[in-house]
């Protein structure tokens, strides 16, 4: 758990989710630049299969998915855990 800041990096198969900051549970295990998850596109536009690495770096893949809305809102859904994470794209400050 935590208040994560992440980055999405485009790959040949989707996106890597890179940890930037914000872990609260087992925070000592996470450093900026580490892989926090992966998004793989599905047949549906802006919908992705999700692999999420939990606080102990174990892959969480059971009934999880993600979506990107209007190219600025990333939603990660974990229905079995009763949880949803939402991220908004940071605006560049000039």
Q: Residue-wise pLDDT tens for the chain (94 aa)?
A: 678 899 999 999 999 999 999 988 888 888 999 999 999 999 999 999 999 998 788 998 889 999 999 999 999 999 988 999 999 998 764 4
Q: pTM of the entire structure?
A: 0.88
SS3 70: coil
In this structure, the strands spanning 73-78 and 47-53 are unpaired
pLDDT of residue 2: 73
- Given a contact cutoff of 8 angstroms between Cβ atoms, the answer to whether 52 and 59 are in contact is yes
- The alpha carbon of 19 is separated from its chain's Cα centroid by a whole number of angstroms, namely 9
- Given a contact cutoff of 8 angstroms between Cβ atoms, the answer to whether 67 and 46 are in contact is yes
* Rounded Cα gap, residues 90 and 73, in angstroms: 10
Helix count (H) and strand count (E) of the chain? 0, 8
């Amino acid at each position: 758990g935590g208040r994560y800041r992440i980055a999405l990096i485009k790959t040949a198969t989707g996106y890597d989710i890179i940890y930037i900051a914000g872990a609260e549970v087992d925070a000592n295990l996470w450093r900026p630049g580490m892989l926090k998850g992966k998004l793989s596109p599905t047949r549906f536009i802006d919908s992705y299969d999700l692999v999420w690495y939990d606080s102990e770096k174990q892959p969480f893949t059971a009934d999880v998915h993600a979506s990107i809305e209007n190219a600025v809102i990333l939603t990660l859904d974990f229905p079995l855990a009763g949880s949803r994470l939402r991220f908004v794209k940071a605006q560049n400050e000039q």
